[in-house]
Structure 1
Amino acid sequence: MAAVDPFDSALDLLRRLTPKHVATHINSIISIAPDLTEDLLASVDQPLTIKRCRDSGREYLLCDYNRDGDSYRSPWSNKFDPPLDVGGLGGVNEGAGEGAVPSERVRKMEIKANEAFDIYRELYYEGGVSSVYFWNLDDGFAGVVLLKKSSTPGGNSEGVWDSIHVFEAIERGRTTHYKLTSTVILNLSSSADLGELDLSGNMTRQLEQDLPVDNDDSHIANVGRLVEDMELKMRNLLQEVYFGKARDVVGDLRSIGSLSEGARARDQQREVIGGLGR
């Protein structure tokens, strides 16, 4: 009998547990199997957490792409918090994580991307937090666009939207090949006299596209357009398919109107049908 891979078993278990508490589930698995820590953190999308930059005072989002151990790099200051040892800063071409920082050219694009998506966040989300991180590749660069919006605390309804857009940009002269992997993590809960409703889950979609590039600013525009189109598609899919189906199921399980109103409507329908028949 073939040996069971612990990593595959951990992923299989996470798929069967409620996605609302995925961070708690991952920590529980890591406490049992510490050797799976790096693989799980790199492979499983978790709801984004917020931290405040010490230098700028601005909030930024934490993920595996700006993490080195227990330290996270701020997109505003380009520094890790808590600070890393000088010897652990790594090279600019070693990708994300492990104390790596982008090269000067890629860092300039990262700054412009954070400014652009800060405006995008305000226009589409009217609040929330956004962060963009870039890192170097041998034949281009890569990055991640993070967006988080939580509903105002209080009331009977709560909601959290996390979107994670990881992309690669492979430069080919006047054109660049972009590969985008987008994940949306949505948690919604509502309580009323009839009971409680909890809708939680995540969705992942991918696309690849070749786009023309004139200069580095073209990369910001191209990535912005791809992320915007992908978010609109995923939001419409969530609204039309998932929420629509949930509404249909609830409507089939329990009628909003009273039984007498339903019986009266059926009697009127029969009378109309009988009149047409005569």
Structure 2
Amino acid sequence: MSTDGQFDSALDLLRRLPPSSTSANLTRICALAPDLTEELLSSVDQPLEVRRCKKTGRDYLLCDYNRDGDSWRSPWSNEFEPAIEGEDEGAKPSERVRKLEMGMGEAVDIYRELYYEGGVSSVYFWDLDDGFAGVVLLKKTTPTGKSDGGWDSIHVFESIDRARTSHYKLTSTVILRLSTSSDALGDMDLSGNMTRQIEQDMPVTDDSSHIVNVGKLVEDMELKMRNLLQEVYFGKAKDVVGDLRSIPPLTEANREKATHQEMINSMKR
């Protein structure tokens, strides 16, 4: 099988396996097909990992956008951990883009505390020929106990400079997982992901405008996706449970359903 065929098959397989086991299954596929490792890691969204910056003592999130080999760049210290030996110290943003990255990182950290009341956030920027790009990461997990859950949001954007405006393209992915196990409720596993994309031109007066514009796009997108997840995941789960579990006697429920159908049929005549 060609490399392209193997890659397509791997993505197809991951889509059919439980979303809660994406990381473990991705590791197994990479072990079977090492040549696909880089491409799969950059294409498949998986729950974010947390690491503590040795220099500042602040937590940050790991992703493909701050990775160089087996090292990850801390957004707080701008240094790779573990350090990269040799002349190549790893890919880092320019001075201007690094300043934007720091400003956006502090803004997102405030947003995380206000909206999530905990969790971890990280922001990474990099240079483009006609602008810059970046990723905003947010992670929140439930306290350790009988239930296990987490929210991971990944917002990748690019900003293309134009006269007095910038063209923003945002691709957002949310990974949601909820599971619980108890004698009273039994086992439940609700997990999956959702991806949405938007493009928009917004006015720019100086570099600080980028922080405001990107922040607004991310905040609006997260609100929309939270509402969609509430309707799709929780609303559908409620409907399924309601159909499976009947509080009134089944004979009474069937009688009401027959009466309702009879009324509908009479209206069609």
Superposed pair shares fold, TM > 0.5: yes
Matched, 1:109 2:100: yes
Q: After superposition, what is the alpha-carbon deviation per residue over 1:10-46, rounded to whole angstroms, capped at 9, x for unaligned?
A: 1111111111011111110111110001000010011
Name the structure 1 match of 2:71: 71
The CA deviation at 1:258 is 5.2
The CA deviation at 1:246 is 1.5
Structure 2's unaligned 5+ residue stretches are 260-269
Measured in 2, the distance between the counterparts of 1:109 and 1:202 equals 29
Name the structure 2 match of 1:118: 109
Measured in 1, the distance between the counterparts of 2:142 and 2:4 equals 42
Measured in 2, the distance between the counterparts of 1:11 and 1:50 equals 25
Q: After superposition, what is the alpha-carbon deviation per residue over 1:186-222, rounded to whole angstroms, capped at 9, x for unaligned?
A: 0001224242111010000000000000111100000
Letter in 2 for 1:198: D
Letter in 1 for 2:35: D
The CA deviation at 1:245 is 1.2
Name the structure 2 match of 1:178: 168
Structure 1 residues 86 and 232 mapped into 2: Cα distance closer, same or farther (>3 Å)? same
Measured in 2, the distance between the counterparts of 1:114 and 1:103 equals 16
- Alignment partner for residue 148 of structure 1, among 104, 119, 139? 139
Q: Alignment RMSD, CA only? A: 2.1
Name the structure 2 match of 1:87: 87
**Structure 1, 140-149 or 242-251: larger mean CA deviation:** 242-251
The equivalences for 1:26-37 within 5 A come to 26-37=26-37
- Alignment partner for residue 138 of structure 1, among 105, 124, 129? 129
- Alignment partner for residue 210 of structure 1, among 191, 201, 205? 201
The CA deviation at 1:83 is 0.1
Measured in 2, the distance between the counterparts of 1:3 and 1:63 equals 24
Provide the TM-score with structure 2 as the length reference: 0.91
What secondary structure sits across from 1:162 in the alignment? strand
Letter in 2 for 1:22: T
Name the structure 2 match of 1:51: 51
Measured in 2, the distance between the counterparts of 1:8 and 1:241 equals 27
Q: After superposition, what is the alpha-carbon deviation per residue over 1:212-261, rounded to whole angstroms, capped at 9, x for unaligned?
A: 00111100000000000000000000001221112101110112x2539x
The CA deviation at 1:134 is 0.2
Name the structure 2 match of 1:201: 192
The CA deviation at 1:158 is 2.1
Structure 1 residues 265 and 13 mapped into 2: Cα distance closer, same or farther (>3 Å)? closer
Provide the TM-score with structure 1 as the length reference: 0.88
Letter in 2 for 1:186: L
Measured in 2, the distance between the counterparts of 1:194 and 1:80 equals 45
Measured in 2, the distance between the counterparts of 1:198 and 1:32 equals 28
Letter in 1 for 2:242: G
The CA deviation at 1:162 is 0.1
Amino-acid identity (%): 69
The CA deviation at 1:3 is 9.1
Structure 1 residues 106 and 4 mapped into 2: Cα distance closer, same or farther (>3 Å)? closer
Name the structure 1 match of 2:156: 166
